[in-house]
Amino acid sequence: MMSEDVLKESGRSGAFIVSAQKRKMQKLAKTAGESILLLIASFVAIVVLFIFYFVTVDAIPYFQLQGFREFFTSSNWYPAGDPGEFGALAIIYGSGMVTLGSTLLSVPMGIAAAICLSDILPFSVRQYAKPVIEMLAAIPSVAFGFFALVIFAPLLQTQGGPILMWAWWILAAPFLLLAVIVISDLLSAKIEDPKRRQQISMFLLVVFGVGALAFLYWVGSVLQGIEIITGTNALNVSIILSFMALPTIVSVSEDALQAVGRELREGSYALGATRAETIVKTILPAASSGILAAVILGVMRALGETMVVWMASGNSSHIPEPWFNYLEAIRTLTATIAGDMGEADQVTGSARYHVLFAMGLLLLVISFISNLVSERIVVRQRKILSGQ
């Protein structure tokens, strides 16, 4: 070919060609470099394996010594006794109780806040709302624990009844009012004549309104009469934990809501839906799996939290009576590990030492499973949203 000839004439050889040996060295260096990087990146995986291994290895001796039955079925926790009793049922129950309590409080609030952040607040306000959430997330757990123990617990103990009553009024009154409006509207919707419909709707509104008010007042006065024996109880811890779980729930849910595209929103608005209807009927279902993942992460935050429950739960190893009594002191897995290790550490090798690792293993397994589940959920949602 002509071009080749010309090139030979010009006699220039490409300056970018290197010797086979140098090329080999380059490749070797590249592979070596990447291997080192890979090794460092694998460090996390190795650490996870190590955590499972070392916690398990120290948990097994407990089950060898004491078997499985007592741990899960008995509520007698006397590790220092002779022989020690290691019934963790009440402790597991306590963990579940505060986790459930904080979830019930934080999930509705968290989702509402996430919706507000992603769909309602104008950008200028959102700029200030986000740092608030970040600061809430940043406050160390021991500071929350200190607040719960030193400020909130005495307040609950002395002013418990009135606090409960006010909380009831503030939380329940708006929702009951709404319910009354919606129900009277729905009941009167079938009537054809607009004038009559309005009259009946008004009548229903008044009747239900008075009923609701009476109900509010009655429950309020019952709550006001409650005397709280100890401020360090499951309610205190649940409330504080819910504020600690909130930032997680809000930020992960908000991501999920943001991932739902603009098109979906515009489609719904174009059909004449209000903002609330658009969000509830269109966006929330589309983002539901992401929000579920957020809830799981929030639950894990509450379950794994140590300092608040250790300081403010009362650390009393018994199942409350009745079983839903949030005003009693309880004890959780994390607080037990933190609190008992100080003495158990002196007797390494005893059941008393290893039972704490058994509790750690239980926590680890639960968190691992929750994490896997939430991860799967997020991946699935991403796939659905991207239409694959």
Partner 1 sequence: MNLGTRKILDRSFTAVGFGSIAVMGIALLIVLAPIIYNGIGSVFFTGTLEHRNMLFNEFGRGDKEELVKENAASEVYRKQIYGMLDAFEAELETMEPEKKQDYLSKYGPVRTALQTLIGPLPGEETAILTRYKYGQTRWEKAEEKLHEFLYEAKWDYSNPDVMAKEYFVSRAAEFEGTSLVKLFPYVEKHLPDVLRPRFTVYWGFLTDSSVDSHIFGGIWPEIQGTFFLAVGAMLFAFPLGVIAAVYFTEYAREGFFNSILRSANSTLAGVPSIVFGLFGLAFFINTLKVSESKSVLAGSLTLAIMILPTIIRAAEEAILSVPKTYKEASLSLGSTKWNTIMTVILPAALPGILTGGVISLGRAAGETAPIIFTAAVSVGSAIGLADVFSSPTPALSWNIYNLASEHEAAAEIRHVQYGMVLALVSIVLLLNLSAIFLRARISKKLKG
Partner 2 sequence: MTADSRETSQKEQVKTANREIYLPSERKNISGGGTPHVVAKDFSIYYGEFEAVKKVNADILSRYVTAIIGPSGCGKSTFLRAINRMNDLIPSCHTTGALRFDGEDIYGKFTDEVLLRKKIGMVFQKPNPFPKSIFDNIAYGPRLHGLNDRKQLAEIVERSLRKAALWDEVSDRLDKNALGLSGGQQQRLCVARALAVEPEILLLDEPTSALDPKATAKIEDLIQELRGSYTIMIVTHNMQQASRVSDYTMFFYEGVLVEYARTAQLFTNPKDRMTEDYITGRFS
Decide if residue 10 touches partner 2 (CB under 8 A): yes
Nearer to partner 1 (CB atom), residue 275 or residue 318 = 275
Q: Is 304 in the site for partner 1 (CB under 8 A)?
A: yes
Tell me whether residue 235 or residue 297 sits nearer to partner 1 (CB atom). 297
Q: Answer yes or no whether residue 14 interacts with partner 1 by CB under 8 A.
A: no
Find the shortest distance in angstroms from Cβ 136 to partner 2. Answer: 33
User: How many residues are present in the chain?
Assistant: 388
Nearest distance in Å: CB 27, partner 2: 10
Closer Cβ to partner 2, 10 or 124, answer by number: 10
In the complex, minimum distance from the CB of residue 366 to partner 1, in angstroms, rounded to a whole number: 9
| Contacted by 173, from partner 2, partner 1, none: CB < 5 to 8 Å by type | none
**Residue 312 · residue 148 · CB < 8 Å:** yes
Q: How far is the CB of 279 from partner 1 (least distance, A)?
A: 7
How far apart are CB 160 and partner 1 at their closest, in Å?
12
d(CA 365, CA 56): 10
Instruction: Single out the residue of 63, 367, 382, 385 in contact with partner 1 (rule: CB under 8 A).
Output: 367
CB atoms inside a 10 Å sphere around CB 68 = 10
Give which of partner 2, partner 1, none residue 15 binds (C-beta under 5 to 8 Å, depending on kind): partner 2
Whole-angstrom Cα distance, residue 314 to residue 331?
7
Query: CB pairs under 8 A, 24+ apart, for 372-380?
Result: 373/296, 374/292, 374/293, 374/296, 374/297, 375/293, 377/289, 377/290, 377/292, 377/293, 377/296, 378/289, 378/290, 378/293, 380/289
Distance of CA 380 to the CA centre of its chain: 20
Kindly indicate which of the ranges 212-220, 282-290, 322-330, 360-368 contains the residues binding partner 1, using the contact rule CB under 8 A: 360-368
Asked if 340 is part of the footprint of partner 1 (rule: CB under 8 A), the reply reads: no
Q: Is 363 in the site for partner 1 (CB under 8 A)?
A: yes
Q: How many CB atoms lie within 10 A of CB 283?
A: 21
CB of 1 to partner 1, least distance (A): 29
Specify the residue, 26 or 348, whose C-beta has the smaller distance to partner 2: 26
125 vs 210 by CB, closer to partner 1:
125
Residues 16-45 that bind partner 2 (CB under 8 A): 16-20, 22-23, 26
Per DSSP, the residues of 122-180 read -HHHHHHHHHHHHHHHHS-HHHHHHIIIIIIHHHHHHHHHHHHHHHHHHHHHHHHHHHH
H or E stretch including 85?
strand 85-86
Using CB under 8 A, which of the segments 3-11, 74-82, 210-218, 298-306 binds partner 1? 298-306
8 A C-beta contact, residue 333 and residue 361: no
Stretch that binds partner 1, among 85-93, 206-214, 257-265, 277-285 (CB under 8 A): 277-285
Which residue number, 90 or 133, has a Cβ lying nearer to partner 1?
Answer: 133
Q: Are 252 and 290 in contact (CB under 8 A)?
A: yes
- For residue 206, state whether it binds partner 1 (rule: CB under 8 A): no
Distance CA 292, CA 200 (A): 41
Give the footprint of partner 1 on residues 128-167 (CB under 8 A): 129, 131-136, 138-147, 149-151
What's phi and psi for 85, nearest 5 deg? Answer: -115, 135
* Distance in Å, CB of 8 to partner 2, minimum: 7
CB-wise, 90 or 307, nearer to partner 1? 307
Which residue, 58, 80, 85, 56, is CA-closest to 69?
Answer: 85
Site for partner 2, rule CB under 8 A: 2-4, 6-8, 10, 12-20, 22-23, 26
